[in-house]
Structure 1
Amino acid sequence: MKQLFLLIFITITSVSFCQSDYYLAEDYYREGEYEKATQIFKNLYSNNLFNTTYLSRLISCYQETNKFSEVEKLLKTALDKDPKQAFFYVHLGYNYQRQQLTELAEKNYAIALNSIDTNSFYGGFIGRLFKDYNLLDHAILAYTKTMAKNKKADYNFRIAQIYGEKGNLKKMFEAYFKLVDKNIENYDLVKRYTSSYITDDAKNEANILFRKTLLKKSASNPKDVWNVLLSWLFTQQKDYNKAFTQEKALYKRNPVDLNSVFDLGKIAFENKDYSTAKECFYFITQQKTLQIEKIEASLYLTKIAVATNNPEVEKMFLSLFNQYGKNTSTIKLQVEYADFLTFKKDKPNEAKTVLEEALNYSRSRFDKARIKLKLGDILVFTGNYNKALIYFSQIQTQLKNHELAQQARFKVAQTSYYKADFAWAKAQLKVLKGSTTQLIANDALELFLKITDNEPVDSIPSGLKQLAKAELLSYQNKNEEALTELQGLFTPKNVFENGLTPGEVIYDDVLFFEAKLFIKQKKYEDAIVSLSKIIAADNQGIYADDVYYEMAELYNNQLNNPEKASEYYQKIIFDYSSSIYLVDARKKYRKLRGDKV
């Protein structure tokens, strides 16, 4: 037993010394002290002749110090001992290449590649060595030959990556699609790696090649997965209608799962493609599926109707309640109806009655939280801020770390902001900036920066209190009062207190919000005036691309001035290439110019 323990101790100690020597040698190597690194790697390799890492580093150290003959001697000795290890010829060939002996280099590369025909065992390793030496065509050939000899071997992923490095996107996509063809489980992997080449611009070269290569593959070997990938491509390009065509075809071939249609509908809705979103959700309601899925799709159909000002919205709600009833299954629908009654019909008391009734149907704390969130919104709408804060705080306590709790915390911050309690609002927003929900985190950061940049200093008014009050009035659908509050900021009150001027930080915030209010009232020319003032004050401000896009949209959709619209879309294309509006601006500019989009 003692001998066994001694053997284990010696083995562990030996491995530990090897590791420490390796790390020391690596440090010398990275610092360019190749002579010192050579001695250590030489000892390590002599004691571990099968360790290819030690060998590669030793070869590199010799080459960096121009000891090419030492490399040649080392490799030929290894080949004499075991000629089957043909990967040594790759090292040998590269050693000649470093000496600009191209003919000898290619001769040895050929020996390594030809060895795969008789023994594919080292084929993958040979391919990797060629890749490490940046001999990419040789690496592809090595992997291809290995797969031809060994049907179980699959190096398509590595081949695809190499084609990507070479910039041969067509070949890269072909290799990735072979992976999917071989095993459907590779779908997510392929999607992840190709997404770095695909953009939301349908005219991007990679997008075009992806689509053409995929269609060719689909024609020669029809499979559902090619339609799935096409749908994914169209979704990336925001061509949601084309994506829906693919999803519809897939479902008709295999009418089992509607999740992908539902997900597409949500994405289209979030990107304001209400037409396609409506098609997706209507399609779901027409299929033989679970009632809960039909209710969820109907919920989105009502959201679309509200967003597009459909005059039949209320009838839609009542028809759905008549069809599915007011119960646990329709709680989200009831909450949406209460929102509609409050913010579109100005009937908050009716909305409260709907929600109080819904509380009786709710069985889970999550449903209760959704109802209380909306009740809080209605209380803010009617000016009962303290009671609203109680509801929001209850949700935070009862559902810690859940998304609904994060929403409640944001509403606490927003309500505190409306009340001009900026310190408490900031305290809540600081927590939310790290929210796991990106949308909440973004909203929190935006409001936090607005307060931080504009809050009063040393009791000197900054205009933030008035802006917050105007935003509250707008939230309560009191848009005329909100405008009056804002416009008071630009009017000198007395000789000691002047109105806002273009040099002040809050100036852009006030004007941008003023423009939004004018748009809500359909006073588009007035909105243009407000937006133009922002540009005149500072065309490099944080609202610059938002302003240009808003102006382009107004001229394009409301004022029937395509020339002006084109001018502002162009500003985004040429001056704000990192803008979130870039792709949309480019598409709309091309359409105005008469291109076939």
Structure 2
Amino acid sequence: MKKIVLLVIALWNTLVFSQSEQLADNYFKQGDFEKALIIYQQLDEEKPGSTKYLYKIVETYQQLEQYDKAGQMLSERISRSSFPTLLIEMGYNYQLQDSMALANNYYNQAIQKIEERPIYVSSIARQFEEHSLLDKAIIVYKRGIELNPDQNYNIQLARIYGEQGDVEQMFSNYIDYIEDKPEFLNNAKRAFSDFVSENKENENNVYLKKLLLKKIQSQPDVYWYELLSWLYVQEKDYSKSFTQEKALYKRNPESLDRIMELAMVATSEKDYETATEILEFILQNSQDISSILKAHQLLLDIKTANASPKEYNSIDAQYQAVFKEYGTFEQTVPLQIAYGNFLAFYKHEPEAASKFLKQSLKLELSDFQEATVKLKLADILVYQEKFNEALIFYSQIQANLKNSTISQEARFKVAKTSYYKGDFEWAESQLKILKASTSQLIANDALDLKLLISDNKYEDSLHVALKLYAKADLMAFQNKNDEAIGLLDKILTEHKGESIEDQALFKQAQLFEKKKQYEKAANNYQLIIANYRDDILADDAYYYLAELYSNHLAQPEKAKELYEKIIFNHEDSIYFVDARKKFRMLRGDAIN
């Protein structure tokens, strides 16, 4: 019983002690230093051997500009123990009084302590860092390496050099650290990403590249190839990244996963030439059926995206050849869905697409596979404007895979189908639920569609313009882009000045971009900026117009001006971070 009582008392004292420290810290943060000082002094009396509260008291005295009292406390403690961090604190107390000669004297005494006991290196260096005395921390870490070459302080040095903006030394120390600890590679990539950019002429990119190429020549370890490949990806030079990945694969031909990942990145960035080269390499070298089928699918996607209608029969024959070689079984389901999509949305043969995918449903599919097939079947029914049948499939997915991402996607498609039908009230009720979707992409799409409906349904009780817009949106979904553009022209002519005008201009611009009619797209974005600069689509128009100037119209200075508009006038825009990054790159900043 006595032991239990003592334990309870000890726990209570610990709790009270902790609460007192938290209270003092709160006073300190709020600038109420006198109150903080009283509590810190009480805590120090209860734990007289600890330096923790000593430093708190010293810092509080310094905030109160009572440097003599801080110095007295430190001097008394140093007389009992000349621990190096106490010397640094005494030096810093003199520095705050602009007595640099005395400050440096104490700093040098602290540094000298590592000659006697190298174990002090970390604590001394950290204390210098605490007071932003980074040059002195560098001296300590470097001396620590000299005294004990087995001790690795490169990561600490790299971090300090990064803070100082000495990017070359930062890169060099990270590289040295990776050499000793290759498992740090992914952390290094995250650190490097703040200092490199898409611009291959950026001096940081150039220096890192030279450093890595030098390492590859002298010490061709796999992690140097991997890091160089990563750098080329940051520069969007997927061809050079592929060269490094091939070199890695030849050294370790066990997996093509990294190369497949690069193919997918190149495809998403529309570098179709490099993506095709990578995928053909995978087909030539892979024995894994999943990789082979994925490569075929991506190659056919690329061919479809770049084909004219007269080439569709050839693509159809290539799909058939793949199915003939590998069969239509569970493992080819993604390819089957891609083929169904091709038949419906490119060849405009929805009946054939539906018939083909219904055969897919007869296979032994997992619940998720069945849902993906049904999702595409429902999309094809929407294409055919068989809305009620489509809603049945979407609802089945929601019921069978509750709370999954694909279920949320199906709910969004239910809302969009209702919107296509002109049932705006029901669509809006579904979209309100989806605003809290765990998928950020679905949540954003739901919010955009809800705003479109709510902003335009009250202006006209018959919803004439909104129904026309929904019809144009459906045509765009059906890949009938010319018809959609024509219908949007009708809105812009017959409903000029109505709230839906900026939406119609933006939608039409997106379709012009899809058809590679970049000047027409730019004109629409300019109209939005000129007439709707204070409305919700202003930042979208600035960003997409900047992208056109940068990537297609060869006018980087105009792009830079537009990115700058987002930075200064649209700080809450989803494009803000990307716009700032691209603005700095176009301005030629060394650091990203």
Counterpart residue number, 1:507? 501
**Residues 383-392 or 431-440, more deviating:** 431-440
CA distance in 2, matches of 1:474, 1:43: 73
**Residues 263-272 or 16-25, more deviating:** 16-25
CA distance in 2, matches of 1:345, 1:510: 27
Q: Which whole-Å deviations, capped at 9, do the CAs of 1:401-435 have from their partners, x for residues lacking one? A: 32222221222122112112223223333333344
**Residues 532-541 or 50-59, more deviating:** 532-541
Counterpart residue number, 2:443? 441
- Select the structure with the greater relative contact order (CA < 8 A; seq sep ≥ 6): 2
Identity %: 37
**Residues 270-279 or 529-538, more deviating:** 529-538
Write the mapping of 1:61-72 to structure 2, written as runs, cut at 5 A: 61-72=60-71
Q: CA deviation at 1:205?
A: 4.0
CA distance in 2, matches of 1:187, 1:105: 39
**Residues 167-176 or 526-535, more deviating:** 526-535
CA distance in 2, matches of 1:436, 1:479: 32
- Partner of residue 305 from structure 2, selected from 292, 304, 307: 307
SS at match of 1:197: coil
Q: CA deviation at 1:164?
A: 1.5
CA distance in 2, matches of 1:531, 1:36: 59
Q: CA deviation at 1:286?
A: 1.0
CA distance in 1, matches of 2:170, 2:550: 39
Counterpart residue number, 2:347? 345
TM-score, normalised by the number of residues in structure 2: 0.88
Q: CA deviation at 1:207?
A: 3.0
TM-score, normalised by the number of residues in structure 1: 0.87
Q: CA deviation at 1:317?
A: 0.6
Counterpart residue number, 1:595? none
Q: Does 1:385 align with 2:380?
A: no
Counterpart residue number, 1:256? 254
Counterpart residue number, 2:23? 24
Write the mapping of 1:367-516 to structure 2, written as runs, cut at 5 A: 367-457=369-459, 459=461, 461=463, 463-479=465-481, 481-491=483-493, 499-502=494-497, 504-516=498-510
User: In 1, are the aligned partners of 2:492 and 2:501 still within 8 Å (CA)?
Assistant: no
Write the mapping of 1:85-96 to structure 2, written as runs, cut at 5 A: 85-96=83-94
CA distance in 1, matches of 2:236, 2:294: 23
- Partner of residue 295 from structure 1, selected from 293, 296, 302: 293
Q: Which whole-Å deviations, capped at 9, do the CAs of 1:117-166 have from their partners, x for residues lacking one? A: 22122221111110111111111222333344445644333322221211
Residue identity opposite 2:271 in structure 1: D
CA distance in 2, matches of 1:90, 1:74: 14
Q: Which whole-Å deviations, capped at 9, do the CAs of 1:23-68 have from their partners, x for residues lacking one? A: 2322332333333322322232233244333121111122233433
Q: CA deviation at 1:536?
A: 4.7
**Per the alignment, do residues 554 and 530 of structure 1 end up closer, same or farther by CA in structure 2, a change over 3 Å counting?**
farther
Q: CA deviation at 1:374?
A: 0.9
Q: Which whole-Å deviations, capped at 9, do the CAs of 1:453-512 have from their partners, x for residues lacking one? A: 323347264621110012213333445554453343345xxxxxxx3224x331122123
Residue identity opposite 1:489 in structure 2: I
Residue identity opposite 1:71 in structure 2: A
Q: CA deviation at 1:586?
A: 10
CA distance in 1, matches of 2:472, 2:514: 14
**Per the alignment, do residues 424 and 146 of structure 1 end up closer, same or farther by CA in structure 2, a change over 3 Å counting?**
farther
User: Which ranges of structure 1 fall in alignment gaps of 5 or more residues?
Assistant: 492-498, 557-561, 591-597
**Residues 327-336 or 45-54, more deviating:** 45-54
SS at match of 1:360: coil
Counterpart residue number, 1:6? 5
Write the mapping of 1:76-87 to structure 2, written as runs, cut at 5 A: 76-83=75-82, 85-87=83-85
Counterpart residue number, 1:210? 208
Residue identity opposite 1:199 in structure 2: S
CA distance in 1, matches of 2:581, 2:87: 50
CA distance in 2, matches of 1:167, 1:550: 30
CA distance in 1, matches of 2:186, 2:519: 49
Residue identity opposite 2:270 in structure 1: K
Q: CA deviation at 1:193?
A: 2.6
Residue identity opposite 1:145 in structure 2: R
**Residues 544-553 or 171-180, more deviating:** 544-553
- Partner of residue 328 from structure 1, selected from 324, 327, 330: 330
Residue identity opposite 2:29 in structure 1: R
User: In 2, are the aligned partners of 1:201 and 1:583 still within 8 Å (CA)?
Assistant: no
Q: Does 1:544 align with 2:541?
A: yes
User: In 1, are the aligned partners of 2:546 and 2:560 still within 8 Å (CA)?
Assistant: no
Q: Which runs of 4+ in 1 moved over 6 A?
A: 519-526, 581-590
Residue identity opposite 1:132 in structure 2: E
CA distance in 1, matches of 2:81, 2:16: 28
Counterpart residue number, 2:570? none
Q: CA deviation at 1:259?
A: 1.2
User: In 2, are the aligned partners of 1:573 and 1:586 still within 8 Å (CA)?
Assistant: no
User: In 2, are the aligned partners of 1:531 and 1:551 still within 8 Å (CA)?
Assistant: no
**Residues 208-217 or 324-333, more deviating:** 208-217
* Count of residues paired in the alignment: 573
**Per the alignment, do residues 584 and 321 of structure 1 end up closer, same or farther by CA in structure 2, a change over 3 Å counting?**
farther
Q: CA deviation at 1:519?
A: 6.3
Counterpart residue number, 1:41? 40
**Per the alignment, do residues 424 and 273 of structure 1 end up closer, same or farther by CA in structure 2, a change over 3 Å counting?**
farther
CA distance in 1, matches of 2:302, 2:379: 20
Counterpart residue number, 1:496? none
Residue identity opposite 2:392 in structure 1: I
Q: CA deviation at 1:359?
A: 1.1
CA distance in 2, matches of 1:13, 1:519: 69
CA distance in 1, matches of 2:66, 2:583: 59
Counterpart residue number, 1:494? none
Counterpart residue number, 1:271? 269
**Per the alignment, do residues 57 and 218 of structure 1 end up closer, same or farther by CA in structure 2, a change over 3 Å counting?**
farther
Q: CA deviation at 1:9?
A: 2.7
Residue identity opposite 1:134 in structure 2: S
Write the mapping of 1:132-171 to structure 2, written as runs, cut at 5 A: 132-150=130-148, 153-171=151-169
Residue identity opposite 1:501 in structure 2: K
User: In 2, are the aligned partners of 1:413 and 1:428 still within 8 Å (CA)?
Assistant: yes
CA distance in 2, matches of 1:291, 1:90: 64
CA distance in 2, matches of 1:132, 1:477: 60
SS at match of 1:146: helix
CA distance in 1, matches of 2:137, 2:522: 59
User: In 2, are the aligned partners of 1:462 and 1:506 still within 8 Å (CA)?
Assistant: no
**Residues 504-513 or 471-480, more deviating:** 471-480
Q: CA deviation at 1:334?
A: 1.0
Q: CA deviation at 1:280?
A: 2.0
CA distance in 2, matches of 1:305, 1:222: 37
RMSD (Å), alpha carbons: 3.1
User: In 1, are the aligned partners of 2:542 and 2:563 still within 8 Å (CA)?
Assistant: no
Counterpart residue number, 1:361? 363
Q: Which whole-Å deviations, capped at 9, do the CAs of 1:219-255 have from their partners, x for residues lacking one? A: 4433211111122222222222222121111111111
SS at match of 1:286: helix
Residue identity opposite 1:30 in structure 2: K
User: Which ranges of structure 2 fall in alignment gaps of 5 or more residues?
Assistant: 568-574
SS at match of 2:142: helix
CA distance in 1, matches of 2:286, 2:125: 52
User: In 2, are the aligned partners of 1:454 and 1:462 still within 8 Å (CA)?
Assistant: no
CA distance in 1, matches of 2:412, 2:36: 57
Q: Which whole-Å deviations, capped at 9, do the CAs of 1:276-309 have from their partners, x for residues lacking one? A: 2222222111114311211111111111111111
Counterpart residue number, 2:232? 234
**Per the alignment, do residues 109 and 546 of structure 1 end up closer, same or farther by CA in structure 2, a change over 3 Å counting?**
closer
Q: CA deviation at 1:372?
A: 0.5
Q: Which whole-Å deviations, capped at 9, do the CAs of 1:249-273 have from their partners, x for residues lacking one? A: 1111111121111111111111212
